[in-house]
Chain A
Amino acid sequence: MAVTRFCKRTYEQDLRIFQSPSAKIFLALLLLFLLTFPAFGGRYLCYVLSLCGIAVIGALGINVLTGYTGLVSMGHAAFFGIGAYSAAILSTRAGVPFWLCFLAGGSIPALAGLIVAIPSLRLKGLYIVVTTLAFQFITEHVIYHWESLTSGDKGIQLPHASLFGFSFDSHAKFYYLILLTALTAAIFTKNLAMTRTGRAFIAIRDRDVSAEIIGVSLTKYKIMAFTVSSFMAGLAGALFAFLNNLISPDHFTFALSIQYLAMIIVGGMGTVLGSIIGAFFMTLLPEILAAVTGPLSSAYPLLASRIGAVSTIVYGLIIILFLILEPAGIFGIWLRVKNYWKQWPFKY
């Protein structure tokens, strides 16, 4: 009966990831679509979807830190960049094989996250924002100026990734690797929320003083949140480095940090599906805007140099409108629509 779906009568029911058979069917269809996409998508769309996948991993990372634990971090792009540069430097300077670069691309930012977490332990809300902001700018600066390590402005060029002799030399092949990582990240984050650690994170977000009183060690879990989040950001960065085969300091600016925060806000903060939707939305938005403003700037050539400003305006407006009108994000809209139809024709 439809009604029993709303009442959870056993703990088992509560713990289930898929609350109904239709969710499983939908997910299976989605997986089928994603797996077969390169066959009919074409090179450019594969690239765009790969970017979306990387954004998903990054968004899930910031979701763990900000959505689950409530520590707003403006330094996510810095960890992303550290991951990308670690992978790039290890791969080009030391000839380290891809899978090790990949893991190092996650571990080195995780270490950095650990270090950043320590002064953040006794800070809250706004102060963490400013500290992570300072970290972001300092990292940007170091990446730009430490020429001997990062070749500064010139950027680093990477070879194609290769795993045990199998070379990922096309966008389609690398797409599958990114898909796999993104799926793993999503399952990991979804399960994280249901474990003891995840519940500790959520407790810290809701009322950290009370959490400490009931025995949740703030130190341990805040450091863990930073580390996990930076690890995921670093993995995403490493994948980005190998996807693009070229990275430079202006890929990892403050604007990217804001983009990640916007992803989880627009998508729906604190939810896995929200982060995924937000990641897709914010990655596809520049593409759509470019498609729209492209013809516009060729029609009015005077506007051409200023047309970039339009995307900045749209970007800002989306953030503002979503926060004022729909704080729960796209996922919130989806939930409302879904519940409306589930309960139709009843009101509640």
Chain B
Amino acid sequence: MDVQLQTLIQLIVIGLAWGSIYALIALGFVVIFKATDIFNFAQGEIMMVGAYIAFSQVTFLNIPYVPAFLITLGFIAILAAVVEILVIRPMVGEPVFSVIMVTLGLGNVLRGVVGLIWGFDEYTLPTPFPTNPLSLLGITIQYGHLTTILLTFILLIIFFFFFKYSNLGIAMRATAEDQEAAFLMGMGVKRIFTLSWIIAALVAAIAGVFLAGVSYLKPVMSFTGLRALPAVILGGMDSIPGAILGGLIIGVAENLAGFYLESYLGGGIQEIAAYAIVILIMMVRPYGLFGAREIERV
């Protein structure tokens, strides 16, 4: 294969891997937004906490990767439930702005706690994947990237079936659409809120562990969470397939922009390519690819 095409496909593959991470974080945002109409700016920080907990277990407690992963998920689930009950539940009914600021404050607290406990140095998360990348048709894929893409795909399918066919998934969609009606129909709305936070936090933690696997572990990781915001906007804030698709597109677009536009627009274009896309979407199609149009009645 000629070099140009090879480079392009290579970039797309790496883009898909990063896109999967963005997709997972975006999924967290969307799950909470769908169920509770709250936009959780602290997703990036929850992701970071998950990654650091996994790191501590593997490095300091010498627990092997897979059990450490599962224990991390358990811990994060408890953390999410506690946070939801202590911080978010009292904010039910408050204006959107207040809730956003509460989640921002929460993000600050989490980031500070991580900095306090683990310090601000850069760490590496040891993964059980072989370090030599897989070579397929002349394209090299890191094992970490490959696992990320595969797991995101599997999660997408699980979530699709969960929300479409399972009782709990349907209950969550019902609560998202009309809280009062769901309450009157006997669904435990409070429990559904907590559950949606737990699911979003779990997804974020998975994303965090993978992100730590493919890059480094440091407190500014949480800003990667903010890079997933464009994915949410692109896909539509209340659409799960939209979030995943949006994440993949943003990941690929970022990588392609970073490589091809670097000579024209200077270095670092990768970081803001996503935000430029946001502004474009906002002007053309604010509700995203799959988002539902909000109808306001006075």
Q: Does B233 contact A (CB under 8 A)?
A: yes
A127-146 near B? 1/0 per residue, CB < 8 Å: 10111011101100100110
CB-defined contacts of A29 to chain B, threshold 8 Å: none
Main secondary structure of the interface of B (DSSP, over half): helix
CB-defined contacts of B112 to chain A, threshold 8 Å: 309-316
CB-defined contacts of B184 to chain A, threshold 8 Å: none
Provide the bound-state CA to CA distance between A315 and B106, in Å. Answer: 10
Provide the bound-state CA to CA distance between A122 and B296, in Å. Answer: 13
CB-defined contacts of A309 to chain B, threshold 8 Å: 111-116, 120
Residues of chain B touching chain A, judged by Cβ–Cβ distance below 8 Å, are 39, 87, 90-91, 94, 96-98, 100-102, 104-116, 119-120, 226, 229-230, 233, 237, 266-268, 271-272, 275-276, 278-279, 282-283, 286, 294, 296, 298
Q: What's the nearest-Cβ distance from chain B to residue A332, in Å?
A: 13
Task: Count contacts on A: residues with CB < 8 A to the other chain.
Answer: 48
Chain B residue with Cβ nearest A147: B266
Given contacts A210-B298, A262-B101, A313-B112, contact A131 B120 (CB under 8 A): no
Residues of chain A touching chain B, judged by Cβ–Cβ distance below 8 Å, are 66, 70, 72, 119-120, 122-127, 129-131, 133-135, 137-138, 141, 144-145, 207, 209-210, 213, 258, 261-262, 265, 305-306, 308-320, 323-324, 327
Q: Is the beta-carbon distance between A306 and B116 smaller than 8 angstroms?
A: yes
CB-defined contacts of B108 to chain A, threshold 8 Å: 312-313, 315-316, 319
Q: Is the beta-carbon distance between B107 and A316 smaller than 8 angstroms?
A: yes
CB-defined contacts of A127 to chain B, threshold 8 Å: 233, 282, 286
Q: Is the beta-carbon distance between B101 and A265 smaller than 8 angstroms?
A: yes
Cross-interface CB contact of A145 among B111, B268, B283, B294, cutoff 8 Å: B268
Q: Is the beta-carbon distance between A320 and B266 smaller than 8 angstroms?
A: no
Given contacts A309-B116, A310-B116, A319-B102, contact A133 B226 (CB under 8 A): yes
Provide the bound-state CA to CA distance between A138 and B112, in Å. Answer: 25
Given contacts A119-B279, A138-B275, contact A320 B109 (CB under 8 A): yes
Chain B residue with Cβ nearest A316: B108
Question: Can you show 7 pairs from A to B with CB atoms below 8 A apart?
Answer: A123-B286, A130-B233, A133-B275, A207-B298, A316-B109, A319-B108, A323-B91
Q: What's the nearest-Cβ distance from chain B to residue A144, in Å?
A: 7
Q: Is the beta-carbon distance between B266 and A145 smaller than 8 angstroms?
A: yes
Given contacts A261-B104, A314-B112, 17 further A-B contacts (CB under 8 A): A119-B279, A127-B233, A130-B233, A131-B278, A131-B279, A141-B271, A306-B116, A309-B111, A309-B116, A312-B112, A316-B106, A316-B108, A316-B111, A319-B101, A324-B87, A324-B90, A327-B94
- How many residue pairs, one in A and one in B, have C-beta atoms under 8 Å apart? 135
Given contacts A209-B296, A316-B106, A323-B105, contact A125 B90 (CB under 8 A): no
Q: What's the nearest-Cβ distance from chain B to residue A210, in Å?
A: 5
CB-defined contacts of B114 to chain A, threshold 8 Å: 309
Q: What's the nearest-Cβ distance from chain B to residue A167, in Å?
A: 38
Provide the bound-state CA to CA distance between A72 and B106, in Å. Answer: 18
Cross-interface CB contact of B98 among A120, A133, A316, A327, cutoff 8 Å: A327
Instruction: Tell me which of A126, A210, A308 has the highest count of chain B C-beta atoms within 10 A of its own C-beta.
Output: A126
Given contacts A127-B282, A127-B286, A145-B266, contact A133 B229 (CB under 8 A): yes
Cross-interface CB contact of A213 among B100, B115, B294, B298, cutoff 8 Å: B298
Cross-interface CB contact of A313 among B97, B104, B116, B279, cutoff 8 Å: B116
Q: What's the nearest-Cβ distance from chain B to residue A285, in Å?
A: 13
CB-defined contacts of B294 to chain A, threshold 8 Å: 124
Provide the bound-state CA to CA distance between A23 and B282, in Å. Answer: 46
Q: What's the nearest-Cβ distance from chain B to residue A140, in Å?
A: 8
Provide the bound-state CA to CA distance between A313 and B233, in Å. Answer: 29
Q: What's the nearest-Cβ distance from chain A to residue B101, in Å?
A: 6
Provide the bound-state CA to CA distance between A119 and B283, in Å. Answer: 6
CB-defined contacts of B100 to chain A, threshold 8 Å: 72, 126, 129
CB-defined contacts of A324 to chain B, threshold 8 Å: 87, 90-91, 102
Q: Is the beta-carbon distance between B276 and A125 smaller than 8 angstroms?
A: no
Q: Is the beta-carbon distance between B120 and A305 smaller than 8 angstroms?
A: yes
Chain B residue with Cβ nearest A122: B286
Provide the bound-state CA to CA distance between A218 and B279, in Å. Answer: 21
Cross-interface CB contact of B109 among A120, A125, A258, A317, cutoff 8 Å: A317
Q: Is the beta-carbon distance between B298 and A258 smaller than 8 angstroms?
A: no
CB-defined contacts of A133 to chain B, threshold 8 Å: 226, 229, 275
Q: Which 8 A-B pairs have the closest CB atoms?
A: A316-B108, A319-B105, A309-B115, A313-B112, A312-B112, A316-B109, A134-B275, A320-B105
Chain A residue with Cβ nearest B97: A72
Provide the bound-state CA to CA distance between A125 and B282, in Å. Answer: 13
